Structure 1
Amino acid sequence: MTEEWTQTLGAGPLLGIAAGAVLLILFLVIKLRLHAFLTLILVSVLTAIATGLPVGEIVGTLTDDFGKTLGSVALLIGLGAILGRLIESSGGAKAVADLMVRIFGERRAAFALGITSLLLGFPIFFDAGLVVMLPIIFAVARRIGGKNLLLFGISGAAAFSVMHVFLPPHPGPVSAIEFYEANLGLVLLLGLVIAFPTWYLSGYLWGKFVNRRNPMIVPSLFGAKDDDQPQNPPKPGTVIAILLVPILLIFLNTGLSTLGSVGAVDPGAFWVQALIFIGQSPIALLITVIVALLVLGRFRGEDGSALEKLVDGTLGPVASVILITGAGGMFGGVLRASGIGDALADTLSDLGLPVILAAYVIAVVLRLAQGSATVALVTSAGLMAPAVVAGDFGAMDVAAITLATAAGSVFAGHVNDSGFWLVGRLMNLDVKTTLKTWTVQQAIESVVAFVLVLVVYLIF
């Protein structure tokens, strides 16, 4: 078993192998134009061999990591794609887009959508929120016209990223709070304070900048066609109400889970368990899809065969997104299984840096090395927890250290991060463009957030 295997290579050789693997992926995808799915599988196998993983366990490791990634994203992407396609094909996305442009104007539409994504990103996870909101984001971008994909797409995606990384009750910051024994309320308050400026600088302004340098046409989403708009679109209020269904259900889940963890409600009560169940992201999206099939389909005169064809036609285009995202998770999982995280943690723990800076640097290096922001955050927090708990830090200092660790964990997501492939494929970006736009956005988001929490740490 891989758990019984001991890595004999040090941090230096492991980092060299990881860097070589990343370069090989970029070479195969960008220069040789090999499909990303095949590239990620091939490089994952070669990396597993190079890092010395037991040969008999390599295939099991690959499939386990592939399955774990798919388990968390396949249902969300599939259900979210169906929901988005229903909203788009019914004319609902265009109706909402027209309403937003009338209210906010063309110049402020991207800003308004970013703020909306920030609000929606509070209870809903990054991937689910992005898939659900993209039809609206793309519809508004098309309504305004021109080549504005990066302005709207990067701005919206960045908003969900900021909320997912820095705000409880998302899993990463909650785990760090537990390790550091931080005050949940203070972390939440400080996270809310830094969320807007972090998004504004790293998402909205960066989106405007890259859009001017590389204007791109908004692509079709989930197999949609430009001439699919019906004559009897639903009212914008109907579409907004449908979009609020998963948000409210997921908020029930996260809210009750948080209240249960602090003893405010009985986590074993049947009604609590029932609401938590229907508020889990896959169940919430399933319920919403069924509602959308009825409200946007059956109740508007669409028959069952037409809706079946629509769903079937949606799943084909997103299959590539799902498989590539899973393969990206596989590559990151191989790097984690190689022991690179443990080796780096042991090496970095002796840096002698101030605690808040050490937490940030360790999270940055772990993020770059193995890809997963959550793993980088949890590992860094676990490593730094003894120093933080034993140190003479005030409650606000610990909250700042918690968010500094979170800031490091989001730094420069690239080819070993499944989120990199999700964003790139949903927006129809090639790997080079995704690196120049999304990877840089993640780096800016990390640095801006760290500077903000560092200021709070030094002042308070």
Structure 2
Amino acid sequence: MEAIDPAYGTTTLLLIAAGAVALLLFLIIKVKLHAFVALVLVSALTALAAGIPVADVPSALTTGFSNTLGSVALLVGFGVMIGRLLEITGGAQVLADTLIGRFGEKRAPLALGVAALLFGFPIFFDAGLVVFLPIIITVARRFGGSVILYAFPAAGAFAAMHALVPPHPGPVAASELLGANIGLTLLIGVPVAIVSWYVGAFLVSQALGRRVHVDIPTSLFGEINGGRDITSADADGVDADAAGTAGRAGTRTAPSFLTVLGVLLLPFVLISCNTVVDTLMTAGVIEEGATWAEFLKLIGTTSIALLITVIVATLVLGLRGRSMADVSDILDSALGPICAIILITGAGGMFGGVLRTSGIGDALSGSLSNLGFSLILQAFLISTLLRVAQGSATVALTTTAGLLSASVAAADLSNVQLTALVVAIAAGATVLSHVNDSGFWLVSRFFGMDVKTTLKTWTVMETTLGLSAFALSLGLWAVG
């Protein structure tokens, strides 16, 4: 649903948005109302308060909800299936043992972050996070302490790559709108993402993890064999958590490291096919509409790539000493715990969608586009305010780039400065993730954190990540 013509001025709309966020936090934190109920209720009240016609309110609510579910539900569902198979067959433990063996126990969080940086190149934030969940939890369970120590380096890496590095949609769209060179944005974006992640996400996450203790969640991937994990050296598998297979014990050999790595790399390779083919089509190297190219794009679509990976994981991991009926029970047991996560994430998308439809974002950006600041500062501030107002990083990226495109075209900037603007916009679109951001709810529910704790940890880390990227963009702007 497109934004309506604002019924009120910018100041009134911003007050409505601030009041809606305050009410939502009050209902969840103080009243202890279930997050799903609170999000739907506040979304409806915000739509009415912002002047959306009563007849259009149901559409405004369902559009944001369905759009978010369309992108999240399949990814989370397939991702948690892959994760459950990796967990129950010992594959996650094998990969964790190998990473720790290479990096050492003290650098386990760093190992998780570096692996996520590599996997995050073609994979979106939410897809990467769900695939990495069993590995994160396995490592955290082995060493103990706050789950933040292990989860946030990986989650921050996926967030950095998603926001700053082509071929992710936000930086690609911003580059095209500003006339920046995609190749140069990629070459500069990768080191900027790595440095920003290390300073703003890894170091900060370790400090947060030492100050805030969050228990290791067990709702998604429970304990195995009464709390003893399967390892490559001791692979007595008992599918205690899989419905219908309780008590059915047997000795099974854990999969090899190369098998586990192959399963994890499969969606990476498939999604890369989509990305590469799409880029080559845009550049005119591949003929638009070629059947073989469209087929590669199809199997590289994130949901299809994860579906293929579930099937492969079933064959090479799940059927090792199990029947297909047993594997189906394992997959079925994986889906139950994620229903609340999917619904709450969809409701978070509903809230952000209502804020966009109400015209709050457009009113805000229109009033800020003519500020007397330098272009690089305008880029960061406008993107930040749009991110805070409506939640979506991609919307903040594309809207800000579109607003500044005319000014940028008239400024005769160098290629490096154009790339610096893209980085600054991406930095603004990263900071201050909060309750209108569906990613906020994914992190909160996956790692078992309440809203207050998520605000004190995830929101802080996302902000330091964005500020680190903005500082680097200022350096690029100065030397460009």
Q: Indicate the TM-score class for this superposition, using the shorter chain for normalisation.
A: over 0.9
Query: What is the distance in 2 between the residues matched to 1:137 and 1:447?
Result: 26
Q: Which residue of 1 aligns with 2:450?
A: 430
Partner of 1:201: 199
Correspondent of 1:244 among 231, 244, 265: 265
Tell me by how many angstroms 1:160 deviates. Answer: 0.2
Q: CA RMSD in A?
A: 1.3
Query: CA-to-partner distance for each residue in 1:410-432, whole Å, 9 max, x for gaps?
Result: 11110000000011111111101
Q: 2:254 corresponds to which residue?
A: 233
Name the structure 1 match of 2:472.
452
Q: CA deviation at 1:74?
A: 0.5
Conserved? CA contact 1:85–1:224, under 8 Å: no
Q: Helix, strand or coil for the counterpart of 2:20?
A: helix
Assess if the C-alpha contact under 8 Å between 2:87 and 2:221 holds in 1.
no
Q: Following TM superposition, by how much is the alpha carbon of 1:270 offset from its aligned partner in structure 2, in angstroms?
A: 1.4
**1:278-328, CA deviations, whole angstroms, 9 ceiling, x for partnerless residues?**
000000000000001111122x12112211211111111011110000000
Work out whether 1:278 is the aligned partner of 2:277: no
Check conservation: 1:156, 1:203, Cα contact below 8 A: no
In 2, Cα distance between equivalents of 1:237 and 1:5: 53
Distance apart, 1:221 and its partner CA: 5.2
| Aligned with residue 219 of structure 1, among 207, 217, 220 | 217
Which residue is equivalent to 2:376? Answer: 356
Kept after mapping to 2: 8 A contact 1:91/1:234: yes
Residue 392 of structure 2 corresponds to which residue in structure 1? 372
Which 4+ runs in 1 deviate beyond 3 A?
2-5
- The amino acid of 1:217's aligned partner reads D
**What's the counterpart of residue 415 of structure 1?**
435
Normalising by structure 1, report the TM-score. 0.97
| In structure 2, C-alpha distance between the alignment counterparts of 1:397 and 1:10, rounded to whole Å | 34
Identify the residue that residue 339 of structure 1 maps to in structure 2.
359
- The answer as to whether partners of 2:387 and 2:430 remain within 8 angstroms in 1 is yes
Task: Give the Cα–Cα distance (whole angstroms) in 1 for the partners of residues 4 and 182 of structure 2.
Answer: 38
Offset, 1:72? 0.6
Q: 1:383 aligns with which of 403, 406, 415?
A: 403
1:392 matched to which residue of 2? 412
Instruction: Give 1:441's aligned residue.
Output: 461
Return the alpha-carbon distance in structure 2 between the equivalents of residues 160 and 31 of structure 1.
32
* Alignment equivalent of 1:307, drawn from 327, 336, 343: 327
| 1:31 alignment partner in structure 2 | 30
Kept in 1, the 8 Å contact 2:100–2:111? The answer is no
User: Does residue 276 of structure 2 align to residue 255 of structure 1?
Assistant: yes
| Per-residue CA distance 1:20-44 (angstroms, 9 max, x = gap) | 1111111111111111000000000
The aligned counterpart of 1:72 is 71
Instruction: Provide the identity percentage.
Output: 51
Q: What is the rounded CA distance, in whole Å, between the counterparts of 1:426 and 1:251 in structure 2? A: 26
TM-score (norm 2): 0.93
- Residue in 1 that maps onto 2:158: 160
Code of the residue aligned with 1:416 in structure 2: it is N
Q: 2 CA distance for matches of 1:204 and 1:3? A: 38
Q: How does 1:128-139 map to 2 (within 5 A)?
A: 128-139=127-138
2:81 aligned partner: 82
CA 1:296–1:221 in 2, change beyond 3 Å: closer, same or farther?
Answer: farther
Please state how far the C-alpha of 1:233 moved relative to its aligned partner.
Answer: 1.6
1:97 Cα deviation (Å)?
1.3
Deviation at 1:223, TM superposition (A): 4.3
Give the superposition deviation at 1:376: 0.7
For residues 25-174 of structure 1, what are the structure 2 equivalents within 5 Å?
A: 25-143=24-142, 145-174=143-172
Check 1:456–1:76 CA distance in 2 against 1; reply closer, same or farther (3 A cut): same
Q: Deviations over 1:359-413 (max 9, x none)?
A: 1100000000110001111110000000001212111111111111111111111
1:459 aligned partner, one-letter code = V
- State whether residues 140 and 147 of structure 2, in contact with CA within 8 Å, keep that contact through their aligned partners in structure 1: yes
Are the structure 2 counterparts of residues 4 and 29 from structure 1 closer, same or farther at C-alpha, using a change threshold of 3 Å? closer
- Contact between 1:149 and 1:215, CA under 8 Å: does it hold in 2? yes
Query: Which of residues 313, 319, 324 in structure 2 aligns to 1:292?
Result: 313
Tell whether the 8 Å contact from 1:89 to 1:224 is kept in structure 2 after alignment. Answer: no
Q: CA deviation at 1:114?
A: 0.5
Inter-partner Cα distance in structure 1 for 2:133 and 2:392: 23
Which amino acid counterpart does residue 14 of structure 2 have in structure 1? L
Shift of 1:235: 1.5
Q: In structure 1, what residue type is equivalent to 2:474?
A: L
Q: Greater CA deviation, 79-88 or 188-197?
A: 188-197
Given that 1:5 and 1:54 are in contact with CA atoms closer than 8 Å, whether structure 2 keeps it comes out as no
Aligned to 1:183: 181
- Whether the 8 Å contact between 2:4 and 2:359 is mirrored in structure 1 is no
Q: Report the Cα distance in structure 1 between the residues aligned to 2:105 and 2:438, rounded to whole angstroms.
A: 33
* Number of equivalenced pairs: 457
Structure 2's unaligned 5+ residue stretches are 231-236, 238-250
Distance (whole Å) between structure 2 residues aligned to residue 11 and residue 413 of structure 1 = 22
What are structure 1's unaligned runs of at least 5 residues? none
Does structure 1 retain, via aligned residues, the 8 Å contact 2:4–2:358? no
Q: Which moved more, 1:199-208 or 1:39-48?
A: 199-208
Counterpart Cα distance in 2 of 1:42 and 1:259: 45
Equivalent residue number for residue 242 of structure 2: none
**Is 2:423 the partner of 1:403?**
yes
Instruction: Decide whether the 8 Å contact of 1:257 with 1:267 is kept in 2.
Output: no
Shift of 1:5: 4.6
Code of the aligned partner of 2:456:
K
In the other structure, the counterpart of 1:266 is 287
Return the alpha-carbon distance in structure 2 between the equivalents of residues 157 and 401 of structure 1.
Answer: 24
Task: Provide the C-alpha distance between the structure 1 equivalents of 2:2 and 2:108, rounded to a whole number of angstroms.
Answer: 51
